[in-house]
Each structure stands twice: as structure tokens, then as C-alpha cells.
């Protein structure tokens, strides 16, 4: 099935550093969402974006809905060890079905 | 709020047997639930959309006779893997939309069920 491309695929960072990751698509999306998944668990919703250009924060996390509607960005400021996990973007482009297309994931590891 | 549970959290079964996985929305009503499959180190792949009181909609390539979905109430959807084979071993995750939140696209995910077929 179709997937969104996420970059980077994985990253190691030092505690306290800021992190940026993005998600791109060849198609226009109506909604972008960001989830975090810990090993052996289901994804947890971090941020949902509904308008092109929208910038939304949730604590140390900030996400943006790209102007072209074909991309989205997630930034994590001052990373801490519990930020470790896999971050997935998800988008919807078919109105009325509420189906997600998931990104390929960014695996984050934080070095204390 | 918006808690989704799955049962069992893990199951081991023999090849040829059937396994039922339950997905419940604990503190909200969900007219729509989704079933995903996730292989190790991979993303989530949508298998089907489950609508309360109607037939599920399956994604291309997903065998509806093998993965039976029943959404009998606003808080419960079940996925039955029939005649399971080792290649069906995977992490199955459900999600649900909150019926009372209108057009929100937010899905709340269960903790997943790890199925191992021997």
C-alpha cells in the first residue's frame, strides 16, 4: 500500500538537543498527524494538523502542516531520554473515509 | 480519555486454528474502528475499516474470508484470523474514532496484539 516518506529513517542525538524530522508525499493531504510508538505498544497521538500552514505545539513538540499540503514537519526541543521511540506521521487525503496513510517512521535514540 | 483496549495482548496458536482479537473503546463510542498489521521494524499497514452495524471495508490485497471483522456495538470490534498460518504472525493493532467528535480525523490506538502461529 501507499506510504509516506519520512526522513531521517533513524537518528541518534544527545540529551538536550533539538530534533527535526519530516514527512513528504507526492499527493496532497487534508490532514497530518504525528504519533509516537514505543516498542510493543500502539501509537500515541502527539499532534493533529488540519490546515495548510498550521503550526501547532504540544509541550516540547511542534509540528507544521506544509503550505503545499504535501509535507509536514515535527520538531522536538531539548530532547530527553523518554523521547526514545519511533515517530510516525500519518495523513488523510480521502474525505469521508477517515483512513490514514502512515509514514515509514523515524526511529529516535537519545544518548544521555 | 480516549482509551482503547485490545485482548489478548499476545497469543500463540497452532497452524490451522482460528484466533479472535477484541478491540474495545473504553470511554467513548466508536462508529468506526480500524485494523492494522505491523511487521517488525515496519510501519502500520491498514487492513480494514470496521463500521458499526455494517460490513467491513477491506484494503486491496487483504483476504476478507481470512480476516473476519465484526463491529457489533459502538464499543467493540473483533478481528478473527481464520485458519492461521505462520505467515500470519504479526502485531495487530486496532484504532477507533470518537463518534461524538464529529469530523475529527484523530484515531486512538489500542496497545496491540502479538500473534505467533507455530
Residue A73 CA to residue A30 CA, distance in Å, equals 15
CA distance A57 to chain B (A): 16
Q: Please report the pLDDT score of residue B52 as a whole number.
A: 84
Do residues B47 and B63 make contact, with C-beta atoms less than 8 angstroms apart? no
Record: contact A33-B106, CB cut-off 8 A: yes
Q: Please report the pLDDT score of residue A16 as a whole number.
A: 94
* pLDDT for residue A58 is more than 80: yes
CA distance A40 to chain B (A): 7
Q: A14-28, B4-18, B38-52, B96-110: which has the minimum mean pLDDT?
A: B96-110
Contacts of B97 in chain A (CB under 8 A): 98
Closest to B110 (Cβ–Cβ): which among A42, A88, A98?
A42
Contacts of B59 in chain A (CB under 8 A): 1
* pLDDT for residue A94 is more than 70: no
Residue A77 CA to residue A47 CA, distance in Å, equals 15
* pLDDT for residue A1 is more than 60: no
Residue A35 CA to residue A103 CA, distance in Å, equals 10
At residue A6's C-alpha, the angle toward residues A39 and A16, to 5°, is 65
Q: Using only C-alpha atoms, what is the Rg of chain B? A: 14
Is B26 at the interface with chain A, CB within 8 A? no
Residue B68 CA to residue A59 CA, distance in Å, equals 40
* pLDDT for residue A95 is more than 70: no
Q: Mean pLDDT over residues A51-66, rounded?
A: 96
Do residues B57 and B64 make contact, with C-beta atoms less than 8 angstroms apart? no
* pLDDT for residue B103 is more than 70: no
State the best of B105, B108, B114 to mutate against chain A, taking most chain A CBs within 10 Å.
B105
Amino acid at each position: 500500500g501507499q506510504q509516506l516518506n519520512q526522513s531521517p529513517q533513524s537518528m541518534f542525538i544527545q540529551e538536550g538537543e533539538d530534533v527535526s524530522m519530516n514527512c513528504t508525499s507526492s499527493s496532497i493531504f487534508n490532514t497530518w498527524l504525528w504519533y509516537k510508538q514505543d516498542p510493543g505498544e500502539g501509537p500515541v497521538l502527539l499532534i493533529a494538523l488540519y490546515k495548510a500552514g498550521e503550526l501547532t505545539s504540544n509541550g516540547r513538540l511542534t509540528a507544521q502542516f506544509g503550505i503545499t499540503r504535501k509535507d509536514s514537519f515535527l520538531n522536538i526541543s531539548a530532547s530527553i531520554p523518554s523521547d526514545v521511540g519511533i515517530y510516525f506521521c500519518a495523513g488523510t487525503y480521502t474525505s469521508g473515509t477517515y483512513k490514514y496513510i502512515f509514514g515509514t517512521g523515524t526511529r529516535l535514540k537519545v544518548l544521555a | 480519555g480516549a482509551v482503547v483496549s485490545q485482548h489478548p495482548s499476545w497469543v500463540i496458536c497452532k497452524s490451522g486454528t482460528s484466533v479472535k482479537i477484541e478491540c474495545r473503546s473504553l470511554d467513548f463510542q466508536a462508529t468506526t474502528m480500524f485494523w492494522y498489521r505491523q511487521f517488525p521494524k515496519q510501519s502500520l499497514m491498514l487492513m480494514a475499516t470496521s463500521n458499526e452495524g455494517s460490513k467491513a471495508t477491506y484494503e486491496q490485497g487483504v483476504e476478507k474470508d481470512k480476516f473476519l471483522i465484526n463491529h457489533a456495538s459502538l464499543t467493540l470490534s473483533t478481528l478473527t484470523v481464520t485458519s492461521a498460518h505462520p505467515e500470519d504472525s504479526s502485531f495487530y493493532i486496532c484504532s477507533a474514532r470518537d463518534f461524538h467528535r464529529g469530523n475529527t480525523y484523530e484515531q486512538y490506538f489500542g496497545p496491540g496484539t502479538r500473534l505467533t502461529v507455530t
